[in-house]
Structure 1
Amino acid sequence: AYVPVSTTQPTSRQQKIFNTAEIRLVLCNQPLFEDSQFEFISSLLAMDLKPLAEPVKVDNKSLAYIIFTSGSTGEPKGVEISHQAALNTIVDICQRYHIDNSSCALAVSSLDFDLSVFDIFGLLGVGGRLVLISDEERRDAASWLQLIFEHDVCVWNSVPILLDMLLVVATHDTRTLPLKTVLLSGDWIGLDLPVRLAQCCGKLPKLVAMGGATEGSIWSNAFDVTLPLPEQWSSIPYG
């Protein structure tokens, strides 16, 4: 199982996650943990490692990942997801929304947020492509726009505010966004987003309002959004 830990989290929160999950090995892209309190943890630089010769066989009920949320108390709470549970969601979404080896997504969701699970294992699992962004680009919507056109990104998966940021810069660009499937979840979706998305894409792509607790293996409900929106709506329905 893997446990994603953000490098931007406070040291105290990292410490609690390491202790709770009994982490002993960290895979990173630069040396970490100069602080003496992390001496019990070994670290490996990802680029120094060679790929496995073949996949490792695991029991489908064993842990795939643990993602730590704040929980109702504000303390880190580890949510354990099995391979079977995660795969069930991923396979269903890929089949339902035609994610295949021609699909390409932009990885705007951080690794310690469970939307990234679909980005990685959903897209790569069907032979698609995933465009990674640097830490410097993580909140730079102009760079996202450039990457979308450069790599012909057709799948977008994020919280609504990140799509809002993209559309702000896309509105001032004369090019048509190549997005074909847009998955939004994790927060309230404003009524303006579908209209603005349609304007930037030439027409409304497949837009799905999704939701569900982390315990539900990424998502547990979905609502396909179409235009025009009913006048009585105050927001996009949840579930």
Structure 2
Amino acid sequence: MSSLPVPVSLDSTLRHLGSADPRRPFLIDAREPERPLEYTWGDADRQVDALAEQIAAHACRSVGVLLDNSYRNLCLIYAVMRAGKHLVLIDPEWGEAAKQAIVDEMRLDALASEHPLEGALAGLRLALDFERSATRRLDRAAHSHMILFTSGTTGQPKGIELSQQAMLHAYRIGRDCLGIGEHTRSGCFYRISGLGILGINFLFPLLYGGSAVLLPLHCWADSEGFWECVERFGISFLYLVPPVVNHMVKEGSPPPRRLPLQRLLCVAGSARLDADLQAAFQRDYAALANIYGLSE
């Protein structure tokens, strides 16, 4: 049984562990595997406090966050929630017209990004100081909604709004099915482009006191190096889309020994996985749960 209090928002565990167990590992940035950077729950909590205070000072109701694979970007996401603002997830690789359509639809006058913005969006970027310390603590995440957009079939972004309670309910089901908890350490090698990858690799395991590792993009293509990273960083949870499973089974090399369930759980989602591929992966690699639509 977990010793963590029942979360009332996606930010609850970060606020709790930031003070209750500040030295516990939160995220390892291993995008350069030979020079990993480790951040603790205390580090993240302080960074989120500082950013949330700055964001809360703005009169805006919603803040768009341009997603990125970084510790700072993850802190921005939590900070928007902690400030009580509605969080709008934006894929930075969308075209300018699509991004502008989201800004117009949401009437956004505030964007958060650790990198400079160009064009018409540049004037909306919040001037945030990542080096500043907070002077007060905020706890408004329960009032924050998450808004995500898809391009749909027309190319015109379509949005959906999720409450904190809806997210908590979905992740509670996932936790009960998969046994996610404080022992879980996820490994992410995808570009964070929306809630699917952000949620399954970060928000979900972190909500239950786990930790996460940022791996180099597409590192799964190098079988030997990939499984070395899994072992070295103690990764125990991997989200694998079917094309990755297909590559590993047909072209890759399995780890030196098959990893037992108590050491590694892999889950497949986003599209249905061929039963033969699943069987081959489970024979040579590790346990693989085939759960269509899991990340959504």
Report if TM-score (shorter chain) is over 0.5.
Answer: yes
Once the two structures are TM-superposed, the CA of residue 147 in structure 1 deviates from its matched residue by 2.7
* Structure 2 spans left out of the alignment, 5+ residues: 1-85
Once the two structures are TM-superposed, the CA of residue 200 in structure 1 deviates from its matched residue by 3.3
1:15 to 96, 100, 115: 100
Correspondences of 1:167-206 after superposition (within 5 Å): 167=249, 170-171=252-253, 173-177=255-259, 180-201=264-285, 204-206=286-288
Equivalent residue number for residue 56 of structure 1: 139
Equivalent residue number for residue 78 of structure 1: 159
Once the two structures are TM-superposed, the CA of residue 58 in structure 1 deviates from its matched residue by 4.3
Equivalent residue number for residue 116 of structure 1: 198
Correspondences of 1:1-239 after superposition (within 5 Å): 1-31=86-116, 33-35=117-119, 37-44=120-127, 47-48=130-131, 50=133, 54=137, 56-59=139-142, 62-109=143-190, 110-133=192-215, 137-141=216-220, 142=222, 144-167=226-249, 170-171=252-253, 173-177=255-259, 180-201=264-285, 204-211=286-293, 218-219=295-296
Q: Can you list the C-alpha shifts for 1:61-115, whole angstroms capped at 9, x where unaligned?
A: x553111112232211111111111100111211221111111111234241424
| Contact residue 90 and residue 118 of structure 1 kept, 8 A | no
Instruction: Give aligned pairs, total.
Output: 205
Change (3 A) 1:4 1:138: farther
Once the two structures are TM-superposed, the CA of residue 127 in structure 1 deviates from its matched residue by 1.3
AA aligned opposite 2:264: K
Q: Can you list the C-alpha shifts for 1:179-207, whole angstroms capped at 9, x where unaligned?
A: 63222221131223212322332xx5151
RMSD value over aligned CA atoms? 2.9
| Contact residue 149 and residue 158 of structure 2 kept, 8 A | yes
Q: State the SS of the aligned residue for 2:165.
A: helix
* Structure 1 spans left out of the alignment, 5+ residues: 213-217, 220-239
| Contact residue 149 and residue 157 of structure 2 kept, 8 A | yes
The CA distance in 2 between the partners of 1:158 and 1:52, in whole Å, is 41
Q: State the SS of the aligned residue for 1:71.
A: coil
Q: State the SS of the aligned residue for 1:114.
A: helix
Once the two structures are TM-superposed, the CA of residue 34 in structure 1 deviates from its matched residue by 2.6
| Contact residue 67 and residue 114 of structure 1 kept, 8 A | no
Once the two structures are TM-superposed, the CA of residue 3 in structure 1 deviates from its matched residue by 2.0
Q: State the SS of the aligned residue for 1:4.
A: strand
Change (3 A) 1:166 1:145: farther
| Contact residue 68 and residue 76 of structure 1 kept, 8 A | yes
The CA distance in 2 between the partners of 1:185 and 1:69, in whole Å, is 18
